[in-house]
Structures are given as C-alpha cells and as structure tokens.
Structure 1
Amino acid sequence: MIRIHILEGKAFVWNSADARRIREEHRIIGTLVGALARKPRQNVRLGLPLQLLPEEARLLAEKGVATFLKNLTSQPLADDAGQAVDAYQKEQEESYREQLRLAGEQRKALMGTLAERIAQGQAKKHQRKGEEAEPLSKSVDQEPSLVFPREAMMVQLPTERTQRLKEEVDWRLPSEDWPYGGQAEHEMRYRVFQDLWEQGYYITSGSKFGGDFLVYPGDPMRFHAHYIALCVPRDAPLSLCDIISVGRLGTNVKKTVLLCSVDEEGTVAYTSLQWSGMQ
C-alpha cells in the first residue's frame, strides 16, 4: 500500500519506491519539492518528497492502492530512545571503519597500477642527482599512509520516519487536514482529471501556462504537452477577452486549449480553442 502523507491539505510521498511505483504503474507524475542533501542551495534539480495534486492523490486512493496518513499531534517518547542513540552511533562507527578499509584498498590498487610510472620518475630524479635508484618495492612502501577524516565519511540521510505512529485520514470527508471532500470546484477538477487519465494521458499541473492541467500523450520526460486543460463550470459565462487570451496563449506555446466542463451526470465535455489567425 502506497503511503501518502497529508500535511495542511497537501499530499506528499516520502518513500522512493512508492514514488517510482506511482509513476511507472499508475501514470501519476507529481512534483519533486525537496532539496538535495549535497546541493541544497540550487533549485534546478529537486528530490523527495514528491508532492501530489489533490486529484492525483484522490485517484490513487479511489483505486485502492494508496492510503492517507498524518502524523499524530503528540507522539510519546520511546522508552528505548537511549538505546536507539547508542545503536546509531555504533552503526556510524562501523560504517566509518568499513569506508576506511575500502578507501585503503582502492588506494592500494591505484598505487599498484601506477607503481611502474612512479619508479621511472623517481629513477630519473635520482639519476639527475647522481644517486643510486631505490628498489621498486621500497619506493612504493614509502608512500604516505591514507588520511581519511571523519568529515569525509558518507552518511545515509533517511527521507522517511521509522516510527509508524500515524493516523489515517478519510479523503471522502472534508477536514482540516483534507478540505477538498465535497467541494464543487474540486469535484469538477477531479472528474476532468479522471476522464483524461482514463483515456491514457499523463497529466500534470498547468499553473505555469495559466491552466488547471497540462495533458501529455506520453511520459513528460519524453513528450511535450499537447493540451492546456482549463476547468470551467458548465453554465458559467466566459468573457470574450478571456477566450481570446487563453486561445492566443495556447497558440504561442504551440498547445491546444481545452475548455472542460462537467454536466449533472458527470460526463465531461471538451471544447478546443486555437487561434487560427496565427497559424
């Protein structure tokens, strides 16, 4: 079961295996919003957690492959907290020794491949000084010992809590943690999202192009979006200026704008807009 963590109305996936499964098996993309541990000051490439749209999270929950969880407001301190700290420090010490051993073996193998070149260089150096060259084995043994500071040790950074003290959230009911249940706007957006997803499309947020969703014919890593989906109530009026602006925007970015509406039976109707004057 995929664990979706709810925080103030936002859905996050912290487990890397779950994030990969969501994309590969269910065509749910999400957005990586976490900073990389080794490059925290850049925002070009991000990491876990994976943030899901409310519609993405609900689709997974309705399919029965995911559950909504939230952290308990107060968690009791474990009785064995001191033992856990000691075990962690012991594990860190064992990891340092193992990395020191591996670094030494790697350096020894490297020196073995460069031994002949080092000997030739030292022989030329002694020859210029008129001294007798040292044996190869002696020159290699005199190499300085490996210095491996603890600051250079690789440390595993967990992205998920080990404790399972969590409370399940019912996505069907509106609450402080999940306020979308029963909202008319959310129901309309979700029905549009679900209909497009069932047709085999990949769907992401369309906020960067002024829409609700971007619709892709395949994985966004390989394809550009073909449509900008804009969800509008079925009987809501649209001004001429709004129609012109979204139509021109779609044409400028080489995408077709879809006006998506849902009738009383839940059927989705699509109206495509293209600015023919700029074709």
Structure 2
Amino acid sequence: MIRIHVLEEKAFVWNSSDAQRIREEHRIVGTLVGALARKPQQNARLGLPLQLLPEETRLLAEKGVATLLKNLTLQPLADDAGQDPLFLEAVAAYEKEQEESYQEQLRLAGEQRKALMGTLAERIAEGRAKKRQRRGEEANPLSEPADLEPRFVFPREAMMVQLPTERTQRGQEEEVDWRLPSKEWPYSGQPEHEMRYRVFQNLWERGYYITSGSKFGGDFLVYPGDPMRFHAHFIALCMPRDAPLSLCDIISVGRLGSNVKKTVLLCSVDEDGTVAYTSLQWSGMQ
C-alpha cells in the first residue's frame, strides 16, 4: 500500500519506491519539492518528497492502492518537553551520531590532505629554499612532508550532515478518510474539487498523463505520454457547464494556446457526471 502523508492540506510521498511505483504503474507524475542534501540552495534539481495534486491523491486512494496518513507527533513541544527522559535520550543519541560523523569526516579529510601535501612536498620545499636564498640564509635539506604542512583544521561548519527523507522508525500515525472533509483534507464535497476530479479522472482513464497547468494559466497539462519524453498537447481549463464565458476570455485562452503551440480544452461536467470537452485552436496553427 502506497503511503501518502497529508500536512496542511497538501499530500506528500516520502518513500522513493512508492514515488517510482506511482509513476510507472499508475501514470501519476506529481512534483518533486525537496532540496538536495548536497546542494540545498539551488532549485534547478529537486528531490523527495513528491507532492501530489488533490486529484492525483484522490485517484490513488479511490483505486485502493494508497492510504492517506497524518502524523500525530508533529505537534508543538510543551514547555516541559526538555525534561522528558525520552526526549533527552533522543537528543543525546543524535549528538553522539553527529560527533561520530564529524570524527569520521575529520579522519578522511586529514588523509586526503596528507596525500595531497605528499604530492606537492618537493615543490613546496624548493620554493622555500629559493626564498631562503633570496634572503641570504643557508640552504637546508628538503623538509619532510609532515614538516611542510601546518596543523590541519577541519571546522565543524564544513561537516556534511545527512538529511533523511524518511523516518527510520514510524511515529504515531492516523489514517485520514479522504471521503470526509477534515482539517487535513478539506476537499471532499467541494464543487470545484469535484469538477476538477471528474475531468482529471476522465483524462487519466483515456491514457493521458496529467500534471498541474498553473504555469500555462490552466488547471491541467495533458500529455500523450510520460512528460519526460513528450510535450503537453492540451491545456485543460475546468469550468461549470452553464458558466458564462465572454468573448475576451475565449480570445485570451485561444491566444495562450497558440503561443505555446497547445490546444486549449474547455472542460465541464454534466449533472450525470459526463465530461464534455470544447477545444479551442487558432485556425492558422499547424
């Protein structure tokens, strides 16, 4: 069972195997939103967790392949939490692990530094000998590599810290019923969500890959295959069937689709749940 964690109305998948299975077996793409541990200040390449759209989350839950969970331990610490023996034990274990990691990195960095100085020892000694000659001092034999290197310093600020993407031990969790609106999952029963989900579900059942369309001004982007291999063919906009649509809005969305070479789909849902599509495309667009 795929485990989806909900937090503040958002759904996340932390397990890499689950994220791979979601994409390969169920054509659900999601969005990676986590920073890479080695390059946390860049946003060109992201990692786990995988954030899912509400429609993606509901589809997986409705198919019975995923369960929604909330973590009961993510609560503010009480004022006396610092005196809790379990809390103090966890802090001590963490500090011990960090110290062992620092000592290991210190040893490896020292060995690497020593090897580098060994390769440069002769050049360093020759440079020092030339300086002594220029100052009129007597030339000394080449120093040993250990004598050429000052005391090695490895600051703790330079230590690499592992950022786990999943707990080694599961905390207290509670299953969230996606069928009922709640603080963690308020979407159930909302007209807009129900309309978007019906459109998402219908497109997914037709074999398409669907992602968020916010960057193109729509609700969804519709791909004929995996987005890693194909460009989106459609921009889907969900709207009530009887909602008025002005001529200016039609021109705007039509021009938007033509500029990015995609067909705009106006998607609406009938009372019986049937999804109707109206495509907009500039007549001169090839």
Alignment of 1:67-216 (within 5 A): 67-72=67-72, 80-126=86-132, 128=134, 129=136, 131-135=138-142, 138-142=143-147, 143-160=149-166, 162-216=169-223
Tell me if structure 2 keeps the 8 A contact 1:122–1:133.
no
Give yes or no for contact 2:37–2:162 (8 Å, CA) kept in 1: no
Going from structure 1 to structure 2, the CA distance change for 1:223 and 1:126 (only over 3 Å counts) comes to: farther
Amino acid at match of 1:29: V
Structure 1 pair 103–21 and aligned structure 2 pair: CA distance change class (3 A):
farther
Report the CA distance shift for 1:75/1:165 in structure 2 as closer, same or farther (over 3 A): farther
Pairs within 5 Å for 1:19-34 = 19-34=19-34
The letter of the residue matching 2:145 is V
**SS in structure 1 at match of 2:92:** helix
Deviates more, 1:78-87 or 1:163-172: 78-87
> Following TM superposition, by how much is the alpha carbon of 1:213 offset from its aligned partner in structure 2, in angstroms?
0.2
Q: Which runs of 5+ in 1 are unaligned?
A: none
Gaps of 5+ in 2: none
1:251 aligns with 2:258: yes
Q: Deviations over 1:180-223 (max 9, x none)?
A: 22334323322221232334432211122221101123443444
Post-superposition CA distance 1:149-206 (Å, at most 9, x none): 2222222234445552121101122223222223343233222212323344322111
Superposition deviation, residue 46 in structure 1: 5.1
Instruction: Say whether the 8 Å CA contact 2:235–2:263 is kept in structure 1.
Output: yes
Aligned length: 277
TM, length-normalised to structure 2: 0.80
Cα–Cα, structure 1 residues 24 and 121, in superposed 2: closer, same or farther, change >3 Å?
farther
% identical aligned pairs: 81
